[in-house]
Amino acid sequence: MREAGLIVSADDLGLTEGHNQAIVEAHTRGILTSASLLTGGPAFDDAVERVRSLPGLGIGVHLTLLEGRPVLPAGAVPDLVDASGAFGLSWGRLFARLAAGRVRIEQVRREWRAQIERALVTGLNVTHLDSHKHIHMHPILLGVALALAAEFGLRRMRLTRPVRLTAGAKPAVLGVLAVWARRRAQWRGVWSPEGLLGLEASGRMTRARVLAALDRPWSGTRELMMHPAYPSLVLDRLLAGGYDWIAEYQFEEELATLQDEGVRARLEELQVRLVNYGASEAI
């Protein structure tokens, strides 16, 4: 039986200083091994400064076309922004516009290339690609992401493959897309974990839910997706500005879960090795 590995990742590094602080604490005091960086995030510079001294923390580029502002000037990506120059599309509207051919893919390619380049020039331990709200799982956007993975030599990628299919349209859609995406990635020489824990209760992965997800042994590498953060006025402003998902997320409880001794003990009982994307393919 192959060894069991677990990538414990935190999304949204760079969104607020409260996210950055929580991610550092979850890594230095808990089980967190990886974090996904929003290179256009309001707290990007603060994030880079905080994690620069943490070489064991794997950094993913959290590719986005939703919420916030592009890295490129708005005029360079007019199909992707609203009148204010910000990303103005929801998950559903983005996919609908892609289906209708109303997004020029070259603009996506240029913006995502700029996001990756901004991460790489920091000198951080950039290990992989993933995306905000899993948008790179769309077949058209996946092609862009896989091409950029090859271009930059980042041949590791989160492919949102739930360990369990649960109720809800989004997990079901992502589960179906993941089967085809995994085949495409393997053909392009891009590695991904064999399953994703946390999608079914994104932002609400409490101690009880994490322990339930770790209910039986496995072999190979899985990923546990978390969203630790501290509350802040910036987070409140983002919620008021349309980041509706913030209201549902249990940021501090997820941070506590990542530092919980019972969770760590369960991983030891299962003989799970904690890894990041840069040290996972051998499992």
Per-chain mean pLDDT for the chain: 93
| Tens-place pLDDT, residues 249-270 | 999 999 999 999 999 999 999 9
What does R_g of the chain's alpha carbons equal in angstroms? Answer: 18
How far, in Å, CA of 45 to CA of 118, rounded?
A: 11
How far, in Å, CA of 226 to CA of 205, rounded?
A: 7
What does the buried/exposed string (b/e) look like for 165-187 if buried means 16 or more CB atoms within 10 Å of the residue's CB? eeeeeebebbbebbeebbeebee
CA distances to 15, 187, 203, 226, 251 from 235, rounded to whole Å, are 9, 40, 14, 17, 11
- For residue 145, the model assigns a pLDDT of 98
CB 226 within 8 A of CB 241: no
Give the confidence band of 92 by pLDDT, cuts at 50, 70, 90. Answer: confident
pTM summary value: 0.94
**For tokens 């500005």, what's the residue?**
241
- For residue 281, the model assigns a pLDDT of 62
| Tens-place pLDDT, residues 135-174 | 999 999 999 999 999 999 999 999 976 655 455 566 667 7
Evaluate if residue 31 carries a pLDDT over 90. Answer: yes
- For residue 261, the model assigns a pLDDT of 98
CATH number for 4-279: choose from 3.40.190.10, 1.10.760.10, 3.20.20.370, 2.60.40.1260. 3.20.20.370
- For residue 103, the model assigns a pLDDT of 94
Evaluate if residue 1 carries a pLDDT over 80. Answer: no
Residues 6+ apart with CB under 8 A from 1: 219
Residues 6+ apart with CB under 8 A from 19: 10, 12, 13, 43, 47, 228, 229, 230
Strand partners, 7: 223, 275
Each domain of the chain, given as residue ranges in start order, spans 4-279
Residues 6+ apart with CB under 8 A from 45: none
Give the confidence band of 215 by pLDDT, cuts at 50, 70, 90. Answer: confident
Evaluate if residue 278 carries a pLDDT over 70. Answer: yes
- For residue 166, the model assigns a pLDDT of 53
The residue type found at 134 is: H
CB 194 within 8 A of CB 220: yes
The single-letter DSSP state of residue 206 is -
How far, in Å, CA of 98 to CA of 55, rounded?
A: 38
CB 255 within 8 A of CB 12: no
| Tens-place pLDDT, residues 32-63 | 999 999 999 999 999 999 999 999 999 999 99
